[in-house]
Amino acid sequence: MSRIQIEGLTRRFGQVTAVDHVGIDIPDGDFLVLLGPSGCGKSTLLRMIAGLTPPSDGRILLDGRDITHIPPRDRDLAMVFQSYALYPHLTVARNIGFPLRARRRPRTEIDSRVETVTRVLGLGELLTRRPRELSGGQRQRVALARALVRDPGAFLLDEPLSNLDATLRTATRAELTELHRRLGSTFVHVTHDQVEAMTMATRIAVLNRGRLEQVGTPSEVYDAPATTFVAGFIGSPAMGLLSARLDLVDGGLYARAEGVDLPVGPGDPEDGARQVLVGVRAEHLALVAPSTAPLRGVVRLVENLGSEEVAHCLVGEARLTVRGPRPLGLAAGDSVGLTTDPEHVHLFDPGSGRRLVRTPTPVTAVQS
């Protein structure tokens, strides 16, 4: 139905480059979440797909057709705005029917489509109300219904959950996922909330300062972050990063720094003496006796999350967090020893911030 290809898309506002050569291929039926902190260009990117902001450079293809310079109404895309943008002077029914009336569809078709969509979203009793008489959640549904009624090729959602309270947000998240499963349409969803991204997306595109950092499934992005930015942005608490130097000892690589002597797996001679950033997620760290631990530090703060505790530790000059069932048995000021499996250690290049990938050594036994 709708595959969206974005090629080298750029948008400059004066001196500022809001979106910088972004390229993503969104296959039909994908639920792509554009994730990033505020000001990372994710909304600008969505608005360029919608046709509301003209790109400075690059192309947008919809099912192979170049739509870069096609006006929004001819793009076969529907958008749900952060503020919902419901027409205040129209009833719910007329709000939902608005896109069809604008396209001069026959009255009977409009009525039946509005009827169908409102039934699907459970809006039947609200049809004669005006937007100001609706709760936040109801407004959100009406906005969604107005997008659905056109049966567009793809849905663009600009932080549609950010104005809902926490309980409603969780419920709506599940509903949106269900809706996507049922419709099978392409969804592009903008958010700064990593939980939304992890739970709803089939793929996540992480943006930072207008650049695309990584595109991948939620597990790929979480398990193998492509950059230190992604590593720090996704996951709560954030992945701890510490600066270290690699040493090759008997074919095994060790990350070494003050308080750090951590085996990170097998390596090649050229990896020795290389400076790296070492990242370990909080749940992959385990407590061991401080005297022999590969990571030695001091507990700065222990947070109680109810079922779990998170201890913030200082190892050398880096902050590492460790997470475990309550009680962890740690208190601020304690000396702490931490360890982890080499497979859970992420290595990044300190200059570019990009992930260092271990290529299989030529002498692996697997081949024989």
Partner 1 sequence: MTTSRAMTAVLSVGETRRPVLGHAALAVLGVVCIFPIYWLYATSFRAPEDIYSLSPFPWPLSGANYATAFQVLDIGGLLLNTTVMAVGIALGQLLTGLLAGYAFAAWEFRGKQLLYLVFVATWLVPFQVTMIPNYALLSQLGVLNTIAGVVLPSLCSALGVILLRQHMQGFPTELLEAARLDGRGSWATLWTVVVPNLRPALAALGILLFVNAWNEYFWPALVLQRSNAVLQLGLRSFMGSEGNDWGPMMATAGMACLPVLLLYLVLQKQIVNGFVRSGLK
Q: Which residues bind partner 1 (CB under 8 A)?
A: 50-52, 71-73, 77-79, 81-83, 85, 87-90, 98-99, 102-103, 146, 150
- Residues composing the chain: 368
Kindly state the smallest distance separating residue 36's Cβ from partner 1, in Å. Answer: 21
Write down the least CB distance from residue 92 to partner 1, Å.
Answer: 15
Q: Which is nearer to partner 1, 17 or 82 (CB)?
A: 82
Query: With DSSP H G I counted as helix, E B as strand and the rest as coil, what are the percentages for the chain, rounded to 5?
Result: 30, 35, 35
Q: Which is nearer to partner 1, 103 or 326 (CB)?
A: 103
Q: CA–CA distance from 241 to each of 84, 168, 337 (Å)?
A: 39, 35, 16
Nearer to partner 1, 104 or 365 (CB): 104
Nearer to partner 1, 101 or 119 (CB): 101
The answer to whether the beta carbons of residues 248 and 261 sit under 8 Å apart is no
Least gap, CB of 155 to partner 1 (angstroms): 11
In the complex with partner 1, the residue whose CB is nearer, 82 or 335, is: 82
Alpha-carbon distances of 198 from 194, 231, 233, rounded to whole Å: 6, 14, 12
**Could you give the dihedral angle defined by the CA atoms of residues 281, 283, 289 and 292, in that order, rounded to the nearest 10 degrees?**
-30
In this structure, the number of other CB atoms found within 10 A of the CB of residue 355 comes to 19
Q: Which of 28, 29, 24, 31 is nearest to 49 (CA)?
A: 24
CB of 64 to partner 1, least distance (A): 22
The answer to whether 34 and 196 have CB atoms below 8 angstroms apart is no
Shortest distance, position 103 Cβ to partner 1, whole Å: 5
Q: How far is the CB of 18 from partner 1 (least distance, A)?
A: 17
Q: Which is nearer to partner 1, 105 or 354 (CB)?
A: 105
